[in-house]
Chains A and B, each alone.
Chain A
């Protein structure tokens, strides 16, 4: 499991290079073929027993920001990459650009507020300790990425960190490659870019590989907290991998969905069916690009798209176990 290391790498949408290098370094000697495509997707092939193709994907990018302006007082304005609730970013440490300049997302002291003050990205500024525009410009430029600072921590049963969505999926794919499975299909492991900004990476992989079917490994929402009504949760932590029947832009292939459920049942792997259709995954893009039947399996997670998300280690292990069993079988 590489989740802690992966979570700590800055890799907001469009700036996945460091994540890609980390993954490539760990897997390159264990695959039959590896390439970085024109968009920056990392594709690795491990050959199987039959001449049919499976593509399994996870996205390398995480939500974050891009520098949109440098203000006269040396503060940095930012706009989000991916969906972020502005209420979760105040008082956070960030890392900016290739020079890894440190900053703090400032917030107005409570003493000076008049009643409740709403937060919006227009009035959020990053403080890099510069007091003039010119000074800030020597460190940061418009277009630089802004990532939440590394904060991953492994607890007894849990992992917390900024980018578990979808480094969880990346780590599972790496574990699948390194575990030396007796793969049934020629399996293309695709670590894709820019899922969070509109599913921009997976389509070109599907086009290039033209697989017979695809599996998307995600880190998904849960909502299993005391503030949210239990009947509106989408999944729960500690209850095993989440198998998605349908989400925005794609209804899972019936055969693949039923197969995944059957494998989980036969092997006593706890699993759950996703209870909400909110959110989309690369399965939607793959469907549009090549019409490839897809399956979405996810690690349930709390507080994704924030600087601090949580997964349960047993869910990670059970997701890995279920996928390990699927990858060695004839599915279609």
Chain B
């Protein structure tokens, strides 16, 4: 499979938390094509792809949902108000076209901003919040209802040779990486019983993966998510795109497995970076760890620029190297 193309297709699909089915369906079709697997969509909406084996039970997790907006109020004419879930800077929503998912299909709307000619000093200096934003619905505004969800109308594209820009690369980059890992496993004789979980509802409160983890009850859980790349955070090492997978360390991670995968990366000459976490990683890992009697976990992140904006940016090489490392790690039964 072509990782780039899969990622672009995944980015262009819309799947706000609770409405991930188009993404889940696409992943299911790709997974069934590239490997001998059994697939199941559970009650919650998670897709579980099982590559059956006799050995240790290992589950890998990537959330499929994306940040989105909700229509909250009707104003005069074709204007509505919006809010968000998932944590979005209101400034990146200004002057964007959104796809509103109505009961009768897609309506396009523009989040407008008063022309600079008409702004006075007060408006110019204003700190814009979601309360100040409005959406100008340009198609079938009669069919738009309070509660309809909306997503960024951005189309993924190649940024230079190695980078892809697009929406929802958080966390479709991990989804594509897991699919590529699944494909790479075809080259190995694998003993482990492997579950690839494409989970729902991370951005609205981390409820998807934890339910799947409870059901599978794996011996090891490996969570794939994205992290901030190429931006200096005080007191943190600078994580860079193009420098390989990020191995997370902190209280949500099992240190024995962390050492194992780190040593394996060195053996395979996979460049890796280490990211420390405080109390929380703000990923599904935090909750999976305390499921049932406790599950040993690993968190691997793909560095990403401009998280939760209409054009997030990832480096394809980071995804490929993450998949390479994972495929060897899985083939060795998590050793």
Contact = CB atoms under 8 A, between A and B. Distances in A.
Interface stretch (A2-10, A41-49, A167-175, A223-231): A223-231
A196 to B, nearest CB: 11
Nearest to A148: B95
A85 B112 contact: no
A88 B113 CA distance: 7
Contacts of A209: none
B257 interface: no
A223 B114 contact: yes
A304 interface: yes
A87 B124 CA distance: 9
B279 to A, nearest CB: 15
B118 A303 contact: no
Interface residues of B, number: 55
A108 B117 contact: no
Interface in A202-227: 221-223, 225-227
B258 interface: no
Interface stretch (A13-21, A99-107, A253-261, A284-292): A99-107
Interface string B106-124: 0010101111111100001
Nearest to A157: B138
A88 B139 CA distance: 22
Contact of A93 (B112, B136, B154): B154
A221 B115 contact: yes
A156 to B, nearest CB: 6
A107 B91 contact: yes
B127 A116 contact: yes
Interface string B157-170: 11111110100000
B95 A128 contact: no
Contacts of B88: 110
Contact of A83 (B116, B160, B308): B116
Interface residues of A, number: 59
Contacts of A308: 95-97, 110, 112
Interface string A143-181: 000000001010111101000000000000000000000
A-side interface mostly: loop
Nearest to B234: A112
Interface string B140-168: 10000000000000100111111101000
B92 interface: yes
Interface string A107-120: 11111110010110
A97 interface: no
B268 interface: no
Contacts of B190: none
A129 B138 contact: no
B75 A226 contact: yes
Given A131-B242, A221-B115, A111 B92 contact: no
Contacts of B128: 87
Contact of A107 (B79, B97, B233, B309): B309
B159 A104 contact: yes
Contacts of B116: 83-85, 305
A127 interface: yes
Given A87-B128, A93-B157, A221-B117, A310 B308 contact: no
A58 B241 CA distance: 45
A130 B305 CA distance: 13
A109 B96 contact: no
Please name the 10 residue pairs, one residue from A and one from B, whose CB atoms are nearest each other, closest first: A129-B160, A129-B159, A129-B163, A110-B89, A91-B92, A109-B307, A91-B309, A155-B138, A116-B127, A88-B95
12 contacts: A87-B94, A88-B113, A91-B309, A93-B311, A106-B313, A107-B91, A109-B306, A116-B127, A129-B160, A223-B114, A226-B76, A226-B79
Given A92-B311, A102-B159, A223-B115, 11 more contacts: A93-B157, A93-B165, A110-B88, A127-B165, A221-B117, A234-B118, A276-B118, A278-B118, A302-B110, A304-B115, A310-B136
Interface of A: 73, 83-85, 87-93, 102-104, 106-113, 116, 118-119, 127-131, 139, 151, 153, 155-158, 160, 221-223, 225-228, 232-234, 276, 278-279, 302-308, 310
Interface of B: 75-76, 79, 81, 87-89, 91-92, 94-97, 108, 110, 112-119, 124, 127-128, 132, 134, 136, 138-140, 154, 157-163, 165, 228, 230-231, 233, 241-242, 305-311, 313
